[in-house]
Amino acid sequence: MTDLLITPFEHPFMTRALIEIVILGALSAAVGVLVMLRRLAFLTDALTHAVFPGVVVGFMIGGTDGIVPGALLVAGLAAAGFTALASTRRISEDAAMAMLLTGCFAVGVVLVSRRESYTADLTGFLFGRLLTVNTTDITVTAVTAAVAGTVLLLARKELLLRAFDPQGAHAAGYPVWLLDLVLNLVIAMVVVAAVRAVGTVLVIALVVIPAAAARLLTGRLTSVLVVAVLLGPLSGWLGLVISYDASVHHDVRLAAGAAVVLVLVSIYGLVLAGSALRSWAARSRAARRRTRAGSGGAEGPGRPRAVGGPRELSREAV
């Protein structure tokens, strides 16, 4: 079993893929905690589609070297456009995200349909090519992670205040629209960093699922962040191992990026089942205690005290 977990990474391409997915997993999970607090999962999905025209234009102009600059430019414009639309009282956030998703993705489809060889060239950027990443891709991801991590660290208190109490943040004099723009740009950076590895379709899983699973395991915000940042890279490692073993030893072609996402979904399913089982056991114990207390006359009638309910996230700073 130990050999299975280590041997695949004796190959240089597997080592590069592991480094890439570990960095992406940790970065996406950290940003995903704020996405969860702000309930912006749909925005992440919208941005994954919004960067597609940037991928297409960048590829048309500069080939594979132009993909990241093109995607980054369009992602930044899309994040700014969403922030501007959502800041107006006449348009809801859901409507703004829907317009962003459909409009930008439609532009990408129109552009890509103009190329005769678009299927072979650009499909990989929808679903990712994790095993073909090179040192340049790793460098871009590492720089993105460093910039995004620095922004989150410097603005963590303000972003948390905005997430928990937007009216309080506004009353305290913080520019709420600017905080929204900062977070949206960070999300856009994560999406762009993951374009080459897992594709624009699967990146939302890296952002949302680790934070959601961590939230089921703990109610403390700091603990949620730590658990999520651990789950992201761990799922990437296991996904690569499963993909390698299925392809090499069982002659089953299994895309590495999809395998990583399937591992994430499986972990979330196990955590969800464990959480439901704990809640059921806690309710059963509480019911037995109430039954014993009622039969012994120790407690009078009244509303039973809730036991084992979900805890709320604390408002401590990350």
At 8-61, the pLDDT tens digits run: 898 999 999 999 999 999 999 999 999 998 888 877 877 877 787 887 788 788
Which of 67-76, 215-224, 301-310: highest mean pLDDT?
215-224
Query: For residues 144 and 190, is the Cβ–Cβ distance under 8 A?
Result: yes
pLDDT digits 0-9 by tens, 169-200: 888 888 888 998 899 899 888 888 887 777 76
Element (H, E) at 145: helix 135-154
Can you tell me whether residue 307 is helix, strand or coil? coil
Q: Distances from the Cα of 314 to the Cαs of 180, 230, 311, in angstroms?
A: 21, 20, 9
Contact 189, 75 (CB under 8 A): yes
Between vectors from CA 137 to CA 135 and to CA 62, what angle results, nearest 5°? 115
Q: Rounded distance, CA 133 to CA 21, Å?
A: 10
Quote the mean pLDDT of the chain: 82
d(CA 228, CA 194): 17
What is the predicted pLDDT for the residue at 308?
47
CA distances from 99 to 47, 73, 172 (A): 11, 18, 32
Please state whether 300 falls in left (phi above 0), alpha (psi between -120 and 50) or beta: beta
140/146 Cα distance (integer angstroms):
10
Whole-angstrom distance, CA of residue 91 vs CA of residue 51: 22
Q: Give residue-wise pLDDT tens across range 248-278.
A: 888 888 888 889 989 999 999 999 999 999 9
Q: Is the pLDDT of residue 132 over 80?
A: yes
Separation between Cα atoms, residue 81 and residue 77, nearest integer Å: 6
